[in-house]
Structure 1
Amino acid sequence: MRNDLPALIIIDMQEAMANPAAGQRNNPDAAERIARLLGAWRAADAPVIHVRHISRTPGSLFWPGQPGVQFQEALAPLPHEHVVEKNVPDAFIRSGLERWLHARGIERLVLVGVSTNNSVEGSARSAGNLGFDTTVVADACFAFAGTDYAGQARSADEVHAMALANLDGEYATVSDSASVLHCLFDAT
C-alpha cells in the first residue's frame, strides 16, 4: 500500500442506501463514480477505507443482522482493505480511524459516500479539525430530501449543496471525481 497517496474513505455505501425507504436522493450516478474512484485507488495501490454504519436503534435499516447493513456488492471491501464500523455519523468517533491513519503516516484523505449532510459532513469536519488534508468529492456523494429547521421542505440537491458549502474552504476542499482522478494519476 502506497501511504504517499491519499486514502479513499468510502462512507456508508451499504445496501440500506439503495432501499427506496431511505428517501428521495440526488446524484443518481454517485455509486458509479465511487466505483470508478475505487478502481483507480486499487490500481494505484493507494489506501482504501470502507466505513460501515451499524445502528443502535432497533428497526433501523442499519440494525445488525439486517440486509441493509451489507456493503453494496460493487463497492465491497477486498480482504486487505480496512473496514471501520461506526455507530454515529462521524467515522472518527470511537472507531480507531484517526489512530489507523496516523500509524501509517497518511495525511491526505478523499471522502465519498452518503449522506452528504450527515456522515460525510460529520466525518469531513472531524478530519479537517484533526489536521488531515481533506477532499470531499461532490459528485461521488449524495443526500436525501429533508425539511429545514424553519419547516421548509428542501430538495436533495439543496441539502447536498448546503452541506458542501458548509465544508468547502473551512474543513475540506470540495472537488469533483474527474479532478480527483486527474490528481491521483499525476501523483502516481
Structure 2
Amino acid sequence: MPRMNTPPNVPRWARLAATGAALTNVPSGLWRVAIAAGVPVGLAQSEYDQLDAPGWGSFSLIGLSLIAEVFGFLALGLVRTWGETWPRWVPGLRGRRVPVLPVTVAAGLGTLAVTVYGVLFVYASLHAEMAADPWGIWLLNAVYAPLLLWGPLLGAVTVHYYRRRTRIDPVRV
C-alpha cells in the first residue's frame, strides 16, 4: 500500500485500519443510492413508499450517503499529513499544526456514535417485521454489516493518532 502523504511514523496497520474505516460506508451508501434511483433491491413496495423513493425521499437517501462518506473519509486524516498540518487550501490556517485534542475528541465521539449505530442497526434488523423478499433482507444485512467494523477501526486509529501526536520525541526535545 503506497504511503500517499502519510507521515513516516504511521504503521501499516493504522493506514489499513483508516482505509477500512473509510470504506465501511460504501456498500450501504450504494444501496441507498440504488433505492433513490428506483433500482429494485428486494424491498416491498410499501417500504419504497415509506421511504418516498424514488421521489422526494431520494434526496434524503443520497444526502445521508454523502454525509456518511464524508465522515468516513475523515478517518484518513488520522493517518495523513493533512490530519497534522492544515492543507494549503484552508485560508487562515494553512501550514499550521492541527490541534490534537479537538481531533481526538471528535474522532472519539464519532467512534462511540458509529459503534452504537451499528449495534442498534443489527438489533433492529433482527427484530424488524419487513415485507421485503428474503434476498432483499439478505442484501440489506450484507450492505450494512461492514458498518459494524467502522467504530472499532476508527477507535483504533483514533487512539494511535492521539498517542503518535502527543508522544514526546527525544530527538525533537
TM (norm. structure 1) is 0.27
TM (norm. structure 2) is 0.28
Q: RCO higher in 1 or 2 (8 Å CA, sep ≥ 6)?
A: 2
Higher strand share: 1
